[in-house]
């Protein structure tokens, strides 16, 4: 395990991006690019649960840690992904402390949760390292809940206080949509929600994260106290690169 959890607890700022193509090849390319972590997206990405293990295998020999966003807090979704070897789970659309607790319950073995026990899985070296994995999992598996609903803004302190919730991760697109100010990330209400989230996390000794779209916003969010930072995605990298080159070549052709 590359232990993002410990690094965040030590106050490090960790840079990451999304993987939403479902491809082990792009996972490997991005994993070797210099990010601290990546997020394999099962909520909106093109890949399925079946594709996750191949992406995790591709990332294994890189310095980059792998988180996975599951579609819901259903325990079976969380168990299966952790058994594949993910280093942490992100869960979307949390609305209250009970929802956050359901995520945490799925992350950890009894007595700290209800994660099912299976030894012959990839996370444990197919049984070779179960004892050490079991002993260390509570200290290494990262629990990330997304702050992207209006409802959760009334329960931030309760959510942040739950043991096993390690990161409050702001989803700017969904949160701004729910606030009725879609894409207006400079709007006072959006900024207020950001600050409320950071305050709740810091009060509980937890980290805050965000996905943003313009690298120029990096300092702004870091200054707020956000330490799990994501910008970009493999699909964006491919699309932007392809469009840029096609535009350049078209410019050359127009001068022939």
Contact status, residue 113 vs residue 104, Cβ threshold 8 Å: yes
Task: State the virtual CA torsion across 155, 157, 158, 159 in degrees, nearest 10.
Answer: 80
Active-site residue among 44, 61, 108, 155? 44
Please say if 44 is a catalytic residue: yes
- The tokens 């994995």 sit on which residue? 133
The dihedral region occupied by 89, where left means phi > 0, alpha psi between -120 and 50, and beta the remainder, is beta
Contact status, residue 141 vs residue 88, Cβ threshold 8 Å: yes
In this structure, what DSSP letter does residue 209 have? E
Tell me the backbone φ, ψ of residue 163, rounded to 5 degrees. -70, 125
3-state secondary structure (DSSP) of residue 231: strand
d(CA 59, CA 208): 24
Tell me the backbone φ, ψ of residue 164, rounded to 5 degrees. 105, -20
Tally of residues, the chain: 256
Q: Which residues are catalytic?
A: 44
């Amino acid at each position: 395990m590359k232990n993002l959890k410990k690094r965040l607890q030590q106050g490090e700022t960790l840079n990451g991006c999304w993987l939403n193509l479902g491809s082990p090849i792009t996972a490997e390319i991005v994993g070797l690019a210099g990010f601290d972590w990546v997020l394999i997206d099962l909520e909106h990405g093109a890949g399925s649960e079946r594709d996750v293990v191949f992406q995790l295998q591709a990332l294994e020999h890189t310095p980059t840690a792998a988180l996975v966003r599951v579609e819901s807090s259903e325990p079976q979704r969380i168990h299966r992904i952790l058994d594949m070897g993910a280093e942490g789970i992100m869960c979307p659309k949390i609305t209250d402390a009970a929802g956050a607790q359901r995520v945490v319950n799925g992350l950890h073995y009894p007595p700290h949760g209800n994660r099912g026990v299976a030894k012959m899985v990839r996370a444990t070296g197919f049984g070779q390292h179960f004892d050490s994995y079991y002993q260390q999992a509570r200290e290494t598996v990262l629990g990330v809940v997304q702050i992207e609903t209006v409802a959760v803004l009334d329960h931030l302190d309760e959510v942040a206080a739950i043991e096993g919730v390690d990161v409050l991760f702001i989803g700017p697109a969904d949160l701004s949509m729910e606030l009725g100010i879609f894409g207006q990330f400079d709007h006072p209400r959006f900024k207020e929600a950001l600050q409320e989230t950071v305050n709740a996390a810091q009060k509980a000794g937890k980290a805050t994260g965000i996905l943003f779209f313009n690298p120029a916003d990096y300092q702004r969010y870091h200054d707020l106290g956000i330490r799990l930072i994501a910008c970009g995605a493999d699909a964006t990298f491919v699309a932007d690169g392809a469009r840029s080159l096609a535009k350049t070549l078209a410019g050359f052709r127009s001068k022939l």
